[in-house]
Amino acid sequence: MNFIKDSLKTKSRKELFETLPLLCLTVAAFLLLPYQSICQEKTTVPNGTEGLSLEKRAPDSISKKLQPNEFNGPYSTFRIGMGYIVDATTYVQDDVFKKQMDSANINLDPGLKTRDFRILGSGVLTRVKRTIAWKFAYMYDGNEKVWMMRESGITVGVPELKGHIFIGRTKEGFSMIKVMNGHSPWGYERQMALDVIPILADGIKFFGMLPKSKIFWNLGYYNDFISKGQGFSTFAWQYVARIGWLPINDPEKKQTLHIAANLRYAKPLDGKMTLKSRPESNNTPQLINTGSFDADHSSHIGGEIYYTNKRFTIGSEVITHNFYSDKGDHSFTGGNVMISYSITGATRPYKTEGSIFGFVPVKKSVFKGGLGEIEAVVFASTLNLNDGNIKGGQMWRITPMINWYMTKVIRFELIYGYGVLDRYGMKGKVQFFESRLQFTIM
């Protein structure tokens, strides 16, 4: 592939860092090939919610039969995965909305586009007493049309502290939906208010849970020493905390109540910040945009609550983003509420290892005479980027949709969205007609 040749022509520390995961994948696959045992009865350790294992493992959790994408090496288990998403979008706009798009110099054209393609690898070291897991991911971004390293690093179990320590590139830990694997949430895209938080960060985090009190935490520090200049790196450094309580978690009764607070303190890159957001549609440009403004530091406060009772789940996340400078302070607020109902009866499992929900389990795929799993979801969300002399606009959207999990690998989505944009002194209305085909091997 040409991108491999291009990656080998590294000229800087950052380019080398971006190329390293792909090179590691190639080398690891070569070294582990002699130990492949797809059809043999060897032991392996199952992976976690994202196919990139994080949880503490016990001997009785070890599977005797390997999956086709799993291998046992002499020093580590190895699992390879991939993900691919393609989206189709078309619009119906009223006259006011069309005028707003002219003012923003945006063309909303129907289209079919690859959202992303990613290669994943993970494993657990087998000759050490302490649990040590590794993972890496390399992704093609369909919007930016670039290859970049995604979540990659090492997780070390610290049972004496009831948790784990991760070092590398990962999600900060702010928001349930932001932490969940991007292929697993209920909705089409994450809510608009979360676009302010970078999708990735480089640093260290400590996460865990107290079994008796059901208190969980995710504490992290990140900076842009390696990632500066990359699209997601909009802060020089950030401290992040996600602290919550799990008063109900009964897998047998299929009931969960999750409550958490999210806190973040950060320094915007070069004393400037620009906030912009897509209307929960990857094929759609950012329709609200503050433009650049001064910001010496920022604080972000959020709350989240989710309740599941068998087929039914309801949840909400609200966030306030505050930016401070000598030239004036600004505050922007947004949030969402969601309701989902499993038509076929499957319940999304809750993973205490990361205090998140996992993938929907598929009992019988369409290729084995089953129906797969079907889930009906309704979202409502908003983000206001107006404050003082900043007129970035406000948008809200309501989104009913159907998720069809044809197999544990294939997911098809049908999405309708109705949005109202308040910008340029006008309120325009737009309808979204969208679909997504997703392939996930974890």
What is the domain-level CATH number for residue 48?
Answer: 2.40.160.10
**Residue 328 phi/psi, 5° resolution?**
135, 145
Question: CA angle, 117 as apex, 112 and 118 as ends, to 5°?
Answer: 165
Mean pLDDT (whole number) for 383-410: 97
Q: Determine the pLDDT at residue 12.
A: 47
Q: Which residue has the tokens 């369909």?
A: 142
**DSSP 8-class letter at 270:** G
- Residue 44 or 106, more confident: 106
Closest CA to 399 of 422, 420, 374, 426: 420
**Highest-scoring range by mean pLDDT, 29-38, 43-52, 366-375:** 366-375
Q: How far is CA 3 from CA 138, 140, 226, in A?
A: 12, 10, 21
Q: Determine the pLDDT at residue 380.
A: 98
Q: Is the pLDDT of residue 34 over 60?
A: no
Taking the model in full, what pTM does it have? 0.86
Q: Determine the pLDDT at residue 87.
A: 98
Amino acid at site 316: S
Token output for 13 = 């520390």
Token output for 350 = 């809750």
Q: Per residue in 374-383, pLDDT tens?
A: 999 999 999 9
**DSSP 8-class letter at 125:** B
Q: Is the pLDDT of residue 17 over 50?
A: no
Helical (H) or strand (E) element with 260: strand 255-268
> What is the rounded distance in angstroms from the CA atom of residue 216 to the CA atom of residue 39?
39
Domains contained in the chain, number = 1
> What is the rounded distance in angstroms from the CA atom of residue 154 to the CA atom of residue 156?
7
Mean pLDDT over all residues of the chain? 88
Residue span of the structural domain in which 55 resides: 2-441
Mean pLDDT (whole number) for 191-201: 95
How many helices (DSSP H) and strands (DSSP E) are in the chain? 4, 22
Token output for 209 = 């849970």
Q: Per residue in 238-268, pLDDT tens?
A: 999 999 999 999 999 999 999 999 999 999 9
Closest CA to 350 of 225, 248, 218: 248
Q: Per residue in 36-85, pLDDT tens?
A: 333 333 333 333 334 334 433 333 334 457 788 999 999 999 999 999 99
Q: Determine the pLDDT at residue 254.
A: 96
Q: CA torsion, points 413, 418, 422, 427, in degrees to nearest 10?
A: 150
pLDDT band at 230 (very low <50, low <70, confident <90, very high): confident
What does the buried/exposed string (b/e) look like for 399-426 if buried means 16 or more CB atoms within 10 Å of the residue's CB?
Answer: bebebbbbbbbbbebebebebbbbbeee
In a 3-state reduction of DSSP, which class is residue 158? strand
pLDDT band at 226 (very low <50, low <70, confident <90, very high): confident
Q: Which residue has the tokens 């329709």?
A: 287
pLDDT band at 228 (very low <50, low <70, confident <90, very high): confident
Q: Per residue in 132-162, pLDDT tens?
A: 999 999 999 998 899 999 999 999 999 999 9
Mean pLDDT (whole number) for 327-340: 97
